[in-house]
Structure formats: C-alpha cells, structure tokens
Amino acid sequence: MPQKELFVAACVGNPNNADKFREAGLGKTETFWQRCIGWARIGPAGLAALMLVACDGPQSSLDPAGYDARRLADLFWVMFVGALVIWVGVMALAFYAARRRDSDPPPEGAANLLILGGGVIFSIAVLTALLVYGLLLMGQLRAYSGAG
Amino acid sequence: MTDNETTTSREDREQLRKEQEDRLLTAWSAPKSWRYWSAVNNSEVGQWYTLTALGFLVFAGVSALIMRAQLAVPENDLVSPDLYNQLFTLHGSVMMFLFAVPILEAVAILLLPELLAARDLPFPRLSAFGFWCFLIGGVFVCGSIFFTAAPSGGWFMYPPLTTDPVQSGIGADIWLLGLSFIEIASIAAAVELIVGVLKFRAPGMRINLIPLYAWYTLVVGGMILFAFPPLIAGDILLEMERAFDWPFFDADRGGSPLLWQHLFWIFGHPEVYIIFLPGVALMAMIVPTFAQRPVVGYSWIVLAAVGTGFLSFGLWVHHMYTTGLPSVSLGFFSAASTAVAIPTAVQLFAFIATVMLGRVVRSVPMLFAAGALAIFVLGGLSGVMVAMAPFDWQAHDTYFVVAHLHYVLIGGMLFPVIAGVYYYFPFVTAKALSEKVGRIGFWLMFVGFNVAFLPMHFTGLRGMPRRVYTYPEGLGWDWLNLISTIGAFTLAAGFALIVIDILRPKGNQPYCERNPWNAGTLEWLEEMPDKPWGVRSIPVVKHRYPLWKDPDFIGKVDRGEFYLPDAQELRRETMVTSVLDAEPIQCLRVPGPSFLPMITAGFTGAAFIAATFHLYWPTLAAGILALASLLFWLWTGTAEIPEKDEKDVGFGLSLPLYQSGPQSVGWWAMFITMLGDAAAFASLIFAYFFYWTIRSDFPNDVTSEGALIYYALGVAAVVGTWLLTLGARYWNLTGAVFASRLAMVGAIVLALLSVAALLAGPYVDGLDPRLHAYPAIVWILALWTVGHIGIGAIMLAYCFARSLAGRLTPRYDIDICNVTLYWHFAAITGVLAPMLVALFPLAA
Ligand code: HEM
C-alpha cells in the first residue's frame, strides 16, 4: 500500500522523510501558497492512508471478512465520502456568506433559491438516492442471510 | 404665555411619568431578604431555573470526565464497573432531563414575556412550582450517586435489566419516580409557555409577526405535551412491575420488554428535537441581529419547524432496528428518518442565506453559532448514515453512535446555548461577558470537542461497544481513546473558562448601553439595568423587527405612550390578546410573590421520594398535604373577583378584568393540559393493543356477565356525571344557582358510584394483576380511569364550595367552566376505557 507507506514515512521519522517532505513541497523557504499546494498534494494521500490505518483491527467493521460485512463496508464508504463532500460544501458556503465583502448584497431571490435548492431539492435528491441504495441492500442482505 | 403653558404641561407630564413609574415599581418589585425566595416573576424564576440547569450540566460534565479518565488507557481501574454504569446512566439522564430540556424552558421563561412585550407569563406561580419541583427532583436523582445508589441501567432503562431487583437495586426506582416528578414539571412549563405564546402577545402581533423564538417555543411546547406522556405512562407500568410485580414487561407472563422500547422511544426521539429546536430558536434570534437584517425565509423556517415537530413523532423505531422487526417497518422508518433531514436543512440554509444577504458583525455569539453549524451538520450527516438500517446493524451500540449523538446534541444544543448565554447575558445582568475569554473558550471547546468525539466514530467502527467500563489492549482502540480523553479535558477547560467569566464578580464593570447589539426584537426594549416591570408600556406591534423599523420605538415605550403605562391599583397587570390576530381582550391581573408554590412542590416531592423507598404511609400523608396546599393555593390565588368590571388601559380602550371560557387563559391551560393527559391515556391504549398484536395469549380471559353489568353501570354513571356537570355550568350561568349546586352534588355522587362500579368490574372477574400482563393492563386502565373520575369529583366539590363562598357566581364562573372542560376529557376516558376493557375480549 504505497499511500500507507508514504503517510507512515511522513509521520514516523523514516530517514527519508525529509526528502519526501521536500518532494511534496513542504520546505521552510516556500511561500504560503507553495506550502498549501504541497499539502494539497500530500494531503489526500495522507488522509486516505490515515483512514486505512484506522480501519484494520480484529473487530473492525471496515476490515470485512464476510459477504454481508463487505457490502456494509461499501455502504459506509459511499456514505462517508458523500458526507464529507456535503460537509465541506456547506462549510464553504457558510464561509463565503460570512466573509462576503462586496458592497451590494445578492438579491433576495438568490437567497430563496438557496433555501429551495439546497434545503429542499438537493436534500431530497441525495436522500432518495441513498434510501434506494440502502433499502435494496437491506433486501438483498436479508434474503442472503435467510432472515426477514 | 404659550411658552409658559408648554413648560407646565411638560412638567406635568414628567410628574405623571414619575408617579406611574413609582406605582409600577411598587407592583412589580421582587420581595426582599428571605422573602426573595417567594418570588414568582419570570425574571427571578427564569434566572434560578437557568442557573440550576447549568449546575446540573456541570455535574453531568464531571461524571463524563471521570468516565473519560477511566477509558483513557486499557484495563484501567479508576472506577469500578458498577460505578461506571452509574456514571454513564446519570450522565445521560441528567444531561437529557435535568439540563437540556430544563435549560430551554428556563431560557424561554426568562425571554418569552419580554419578547412578546408582556409583563410576565400567564401563570407565574406555576413556573415557580415547576422550578421547585425541578430543583428537588434533580438534587434527589443526582445525590443518589454519593450513596452509590444511582440508577445504572442506561438512560433508556431497558427491561428486563431494570426490572430485575437484584441487578438494578433502588437506582431504577430513583430514576423512575425522581424523573417522572420532573417530567410533570416540564409539562407544566410547556403549558405555561404555549399559553404565553398564544395569548400574551403584544396587541397587533399577528401570527405572521411572531418572533421566531416564540414560534419554536410553541412547537417545542406542543412536542413536550405529546412526547412526555408516553414516557410517563411507561414509567407507571415499569414502576408497577418493580414495586408490585405486575408483569408488563415480563415475557414469561404475557408481557413484552419491547413495549418499553416503543414507549420510551415514542418519547425519546421527539425528545432529541425538543432539545435541538430551542437551540435553533436561539440561532434564529442571534443570526439576524449580527447580520443586521431580518431573517430570510421566515415562513420557510416556521413551516420547517412545525414539520420537524410532526415528523419527529414518526421516527422512533430507528432506535430499534436491531430488534428483529419486519423489513417493511424498517424501510418505512428509514425513509421517515431521512425525511426529517429536509426541514432541518431548510432551517440551516435559511440562516446561511440571512448571513449572505447581511453584513456580518463578528462577535462571540456568532462564533459559537458558526461552531454549532459545523458540528451539527456533521452530526446530522452521521445521523443519515445510521438511519440506513443495514448500516445501523453494524454501528448500533458502538462508539459510532456515541459520537453521532454528541455531535447532534453539542452542536444542536450546547453550542447554541453558549451563544445564547453570550448574547443574552447583558439582557439578564446588564453587564457584558469578556469577548477575549469568549474567543479563547470557544476555540478550546471547539477543538477539544472535535478531538474528543471525531475519533470516536472510528473507535466505534473498529468495534468498541458503548457502555463498557474498560477494554483490552490491542484491538486498535487504545490511541483513539487516549486522544478522546485529551480532547474531553480540553473541552472542559474551555467550558470552565466561560463559567468563571460568568461567575466572576462584575461590580465595577460599567453597565452595557441600551440594546447593546443593536437588535431589532422587543426583548431589547429593556433598560440597563433592568426594571422589574419588564416593559414600561405595552406597545402595538406591526413589524417583525419593531426596533429597527421605528427608531423612536424605545422612546415611545419609555414615555408610556402605549397601553398599560400605569398600575393605578398597584396590581401586577398585563394584556391578554386573541390567538390569531392579537386583538386585546382582557387586562389580566397576575399573582405576586408567594411561598405556596414552594410548599406545594415540597410536599409533592416528599410524596415521590417516600414512594421510591416504598414508604407508602408517608407517601399518602405527603400526597394529602400536597393536595391541601394546592387547593389552598387555588382558593386564595386564582379566579379572583375584581373590584370593577373593566379597566381603562390607555388609548381610550377599556378591557374587562375577568374573562371565562375560551377567552380566559385558564381555560386554555386546562385544554392544553388535558391534551397531554389524553396522550398518556392513548399510550396505555397503545400498550393494550400492542400486547394483542404480538401475543397470542392476549387477552387470556373473557369478561363475565356480572362484570359486564358493572362496567355498563360505571359508564352510565360517568355519562350522568358529565351531563350534570354541564347542567351545573348552564344553571349557574342562567342564575339558577341553587339548581347548579344541586347538580354539582348529584354529579359528585354519581362520580363516586362510577368509581365503585368500574373497580367492581375487574374485581368480580377475579383478575389478578400479578399473574399475566392482561389482567395487569386491565387494572391499570381501570385505575387510570377512576383516578381521573376521582380528581374530577374533587374539582366539583371545589366548585360547590366556591359557589357557597360566593367566589363562583353567575357572572364570575371560571371555575365551573374549567371543570366542565376537564369533564369533557374525563368522560371520554371514562367511557372508552371500560368499553374497551369489557368488550374487546369478547370480540377478540
Ligand atoms: C461535556 C462533554 C461531554 C463528554 C466528555 C461526554 C462523554 C460521554 C461519555 C464518555 C459517555 C458514555 C459512553 C459509554 O460508556 O457508552 C456519554 C454518554 C452519553 N452522553 Fe455525553 N458527554 C458530554 C456531553 C454531553 C451532552 C451535552 C449531552 C446531552 C445533552 C450528552 C448526552 C449523553 C447521552 C444521552 C449519553 C448516553 C448515556 C447512556 O448510554 O445511557 N453528553 N457521554
């Protein structure tokens, strides 16, 4: 697992880690933006690696050994990525709203659109899709294990 | 000449204003020295309530820290397994019942009158009674841990663990009786707040102008009214099983432990929204103020709040996904659980939109509001995850759920409450909290919270169950737990800083200027420091943000240019308006300080506490004393006959001082209380049918002919009582006072006969409630019914005495109107329950 190694190297004092850091653009002399770009390059890999490290373990539901568990782990990962994206989106929106400094505010119509689009249409769409996936999965699992 | 005239008239006006203020002050001042504790005004009671609830937060927080210290490393032995059980049970129960719900009622008691420009709540003594119940019950429940006698079955107290006397000890009784007592206080506060929002709004404040906070209070009050009764019904059944061995939850004798889960979660899930919506309500006040513009999407928000309220009653089964229910139920409740995310999203997007259209003023309350958003959204998303039944099969009862619930509760409630504390601190004390401490506190809390609870998602996914006092090494939980503990202590440090800032003496700090945040809503009319009368004169409201709309609004209110600027008779007075359009209909005199609420609460508490220790004679004695003090309180303090019919409230408007029937606040309070009572009755009926759906041996007996006759007699007597009560009201109104009194006596006699007949029914059938759940539920329904009839008989006797004493007359008939209303509901109970009990076994 190369990501895992990279992450471990970055964190746990591998003799090469200074090089790896520099490769990834994380030196002292870089500007702020260069450093951001560097983190952006190493970040997702690191995060993914962290996730993988965090997933194993004898009782872990993310280290599946059976059919049901595998399907459920898939469900989890789908929801996890979805949740992350939505959370980042909402936070970004809130930040934009709070930091907005241009002189005239957006029209009231835009605000209503936001409430309708974000609160109603977007959430109904996402939730319906998820519900269909989840319920189908439930049917399959129950049929497979002979319950229900 | 003209100059001279204006000067004198100005002087006159000043003089008049001064005199008015003196009179208002005499009427509204809080009592001094030891009598201070007899205060009933919403500002005093609201402050006590808030501080007490914060005290319980600290208590529950400390128990959480002890748990986190215990879990920091594997195989730790800081606390014993049993103490750990007590700690998490108390932590959860205290947080939910003694902090989260009460703090929001407390804040509402504090804010609501000022927000609606009323001078007090409709029933000040009832709020005081609720507060004293809360204090007594809370101290009793929390104190138990110092005797290692605290409940230890988890905050949802599942049987059969909690019905096993050896496993659970006295702790479960303390939980059941101590908390039921507090739930009753919560319902009382809810009734008070609902009537407040419906009837105490400033003239002109039509329903589309109600401040959002008040809307939320209305929704939450309604939810409390329908959510708490199922729990109280469940508490009664569980306590009957524990104390008298009636097998409601015992599968061997016809019962079912699942019934408890249903009753608990029919309460428990709305409870989560009862906690969360008031948090949103605070945000709905804070966000527009700091965006310096009216909230965007007012109607969307109201609709969403009401929608959340309704939906939240259809989700409870998602706490029971692993109990083996059929797939259809799981699918339905999965869908309902995800659906509730929609109105929640609407509310949050409306706030973001408000911020977007406004120009944000940075402040500590806004910082906490932003933190709340970040935390709550994550909690909501992990909530959608566990709403998927198949995923919940994995996550159920693991630390994933612990993480999820804390994200929701801390983001949805704790952070908004702290935002509210910063925002409203000047409102309560006229002094500001430190901005700097607030920022440091915020960052410690925010970072600490995430460090503590984010890893718990993974601890849970890696298989760590909740409610374990320790864990072995090497399962991959060690580091995660240590990090969580460090985070928890960081969070606590931030919170401690804020508490210190709240408690620090602020003697030489200057008062805030008036309306310090430049808000637009009525509560900021208040002077700094506050005057005891609340608002100087009761304004006419035509706008959602009157203080922004009219720059001289504060001036007009202060100069007494609106209604009721005076208290000529030195009485506490405020205005009652109509439900929809807020047209003035009455000038209501609200009662002043009294020790009676405290005394009544003391006796009621004593009755509950004695019952916990199975001391039934002291229970009975305390119960009788409580009833006596209650009756004395009602007799001396309510339905007072005014010295004149009408009073001039200003603007040439004259309003009656006495109203009865649907015009009066008392009628509404009775109506709302009885809705809650009906919800409890419906829960018992639900239990009856629940047994029938899942057990083939239910009912295990048929009603005999002899019993049928008794039931029929009982029902006939109930109907007779009801008719005579109607007659008593009618004859009283038409001046036939003697006939009215006769009808009351007749009604009482019939009521007593119906009690005897309805008890004779199950008795002649020889039903033994200890043998099987069927006789047990029949007896519970019978006792519930005769209990209501008995209370109704006491009420009729009260009316009879009032009539003899000349306090109930054809013109002044509140008492009999309210008692008739009670009897409408009691009669429904008294007809339905016996019919069900008598006839259903024959049909089934
Ligand atoms: C101050 C920070 C808090 C910390 C460090 C904390 C920590 C904990 C811990 C360690 C548990 C027990 C987990 C287990 O053994 O299963 C727990 C359970 C719980 N907490 Fe908290 N908590 C905090 C705040 C809150 C708040 C503000 C609320 C609600 C308003 C709350 C409600 C609950 C509930 C309902 C439970 C479940 C109790 C049970 O399993 O019966 N907590 N918390």
Output the furthest CA–CA distance in chain A (Å, rounded). 64
Mutation target vs A (from B458, B466, B473; most A CBs, 10 A cutoff): B458
What pLDDT was estimated at residue B3? 56
Run of H or E including B750: helix B737-764
Q: How would residue A109 be classed by pLDDT, with cut points 50, 70 and 90?
A: confident
Distance from CA of A58 to the nearest CA of B (A): 6
From chain A, pick out residues whose CB is under 8 angstroms from the CB of B381: 83, 86-87
Contact B575, B563 (CB under 8 A): yes
CA–centroid distance, B186 to ligand 1, in Å, is 22
Closest atom, ligand 1, to C-alpha of B413: 30
Which two three-digit tokens encode residue A69?
């568990």
What is the residue-wise DSSP string for A113-143? HHIIIIIIIIHHHHHHHHHHHHHHHHHHHHH
Q: What is the mean pLDDT of residues A52-74?
A: 84
B interface test, pick of A11, A59, A115 with most B CB neighbours within 10 Å: A115
The pLDDT score that the predictor gives to residue A7 is 37
Q: What total of structural domains would you count in chain B?
A: 2
Please report the pLDDT score of residue B167 as a whole number: 81
pLDDT value of residue A44? 66
Picking from A94, A110, A138, the nearest residue to B390 by CB comes out as A138
Q: Per-residue pLDDT for B436 more than 70?
A: yes
Burial grade of B163 (CB within 10 A; 0-12, 13-18, 19 or more): buried
Report the share of chain B in percent with pLDDT over 70. 99
Q: Are strands B584-589 and B646-650 parallel, antiparallel or unpaired?
A: unpaired
Integer CA distances (angstroms), A34 to A6, A7, A42, B287, B668, in order: 20, 20, 12, 36, 67
| pLDDT at site A34 | 65
Name the residue ranges covered by the structural domains of chain A. Answer: 1-55, 61-148
pLDDT at B650: 87
- Return the ligand 1 atom nearest residue B87 CA: 12
DSSP three-state, residue B567? coil
pLDDT of residue A88: 96
Mean pLDDT of B232-253: 95
DSSP reduced 3-state for B649: strand
Name the pLDDT band for B6 (thresholds 50, 70, 90). low
Residue A111: predicted pLDDT: 87
Q: Could you report the per-residue pLDDT of B178-231, keeping only the tens digit for each? A: 998 899 889 999 999 999 999 999 999 999 999 999 999 999 999 999 999 999
Q: Final residue of a domain: which of B456, B475, B503?
A: B503
CA distances from B200 to B225, B495, B588, B597 (A): 19, 36, 10, 22
Hey, CA dihedral for B830, B831, B832, B836, is it positive or negative?
positive
Which is nearest to A62 in space by CA: A81, A79, A77? A77
Residue that the structure tokens 């759940």 belong to: B773
The residue assigned the tokens 């949050």 is B348
DSSP SS3 for B573? strand
- Find the residue in B nearest to A56 (Cα): B462
CA distance B619 to chain A (A): 49
pLDDT-derived band of residue B633, with 50, 70 and 90 as boundaries?
Answer: very high
Average pLDDT over residues B73-79: 96
Predicted confidence (pLDDT) at residue A5 exceeds the cutoff of 50: no
How far apart CA A64 and CA B121 sit, in angstroms, is 58
Range of the domain at B806: 661-843
**pLDDT above 70 (res A21):** no
Q: Hey, are the CB atoms on A60 and B393 less than 8 Å from each other?
A: no
Q: Mutate which of B54, B79, B406 to test ligand 1's pocket (most atoms within 8 Å of Cβ)?
A: B406
Q: Is the pLDDT of residue B118 over 50?
A: yes
Q: Is B321 helix (H, G, I), strand (E, B) or coil?
A: helix
Specify the CATH number for the domain of residue B689. Answer: 1.20.120.80
Beta strands in B507-559 (DSSP E): none
Cβ–Cβ < 8 Å for B128, B119: no
Tens-place pLDDT, residues B499-529 = 999 999 998 899 999 999 999 999 999 988 8
Q: What is the CA radius of gyration of chain A?
A: 22
The answer to whether residue A19 scores a pLDDT higher than 50 is: no
* Cα–Cα dist B236/B218, whole Å: 27
The pTM score is 0.91
With a cut of 90, say whether residue B325 has pLDDT above it. Answer: no
pLDDT band at A50 (very low <50, low <70, confident <90, very high): low
Q: How confident is the model at residue B380 (pLDDT cuts 50, 70, 90)?
A: very high
Pocket test for ligand 1, best of B68, B85, B86, B88 (most atoms within 8 A of CB): B88
Q: Which of B503, B521, B551 is the last residue of a domain?
A: B503
Q: pLDDT digit string (tens) for B336-374?
A: 989 999 999 999 999 999 999 998 999 999 999 999 999
pLDDT in tens, B155-166: 999 999 999 877
CATH code assigned at B232: 1.20.210.10
Chain-centroid distance of CA B330 in Å reads 30
Interface test with B, best of A127, A141, A144 (most B CBs within 10 A): A127
* Ligand 1 centre distance from Cα of residue B385 (Å): 20
Q: Phi/psi of residue B591, each to 5°?
A: -70, 155
Ligand 1 pocket mutation pick from B402, B445, B446 by most atoms within 8 angstroms of CB: B402
d(CA B182, CA A124): 39
Of B239-253, B325-339, B682-696, the one with minimum mean pLDDT is B325-339
The H or E element spanning position B589 is strand B584-589
pLDDT for position A24: 44
In a domain, B697, yes or no: yes
- Average pLDDT value for chain B: 94
Task: Give me the residues of A, 56-115, that contact B with CB < 8 A.
Answer: 56-62, 69, 71-72, 75-76, 79-80, 83, 86-87, 90-91, 93-94, 96-98, 100, 105-106, 108, 110-112, 114-115
ipTM (interface predicted TM): 0.91
Nearest CA in chain B to A101: B359
Q: Which two tokens stand for residue A87?
A: 């959370």
Q: Is the pLDDT confidence value at B454 over 60?
A: yes
Name which of B28-37, B374-383, B409-418, B675-684 the model is least confident about.
B28-37
Residue type, B354: T
pLDDT of A118 higher than 50: yes
Average pLDDT over residues B663-683: 96
Read off the amino acid at residue B101.
V
Residues of chain A contacting B336 with CB distance shorter than 8 Å: none
Q: How confident is the model at residue A141 (pLDDT cuts 50, 70, 90)?
A: confident
Contact B503, B440 (CB under 8 A): no
Region B664-672: mean pLDDT is 95
Q: Which residues line ligand 1 (CB under 6 A)?
A: B 61, 64, 67-68, 88-89, 91-92, 95-96, 100, 154-155, 402, 406, 409-410, 413-414, 452, 466-467, 488, 491
- Over range B433-456, report the average pLDDT: 97
Vertex B243, ends B238 and B245: CA angle to 5°?
80
Residue B597 and residue B633 in contact, taking contact as beta carbons nearer than 8 Å = yes
A19 vs A1: which has the higher pLDDT: A19
Looking at the complex, does the CB of residue A50 fall below 8 Å from at least one CB of chain B?
A: no
For residue B231, give the amino acid letter.
Answer: L
Interface of A with B in 28-47 (CB under 8 A): none
Q: Please, how many CA atoms are within 13 Å of residue B231, restricted to the half-sphere of its CB? A: 31
Q: Is residue B347 part of a domain?
A: yes
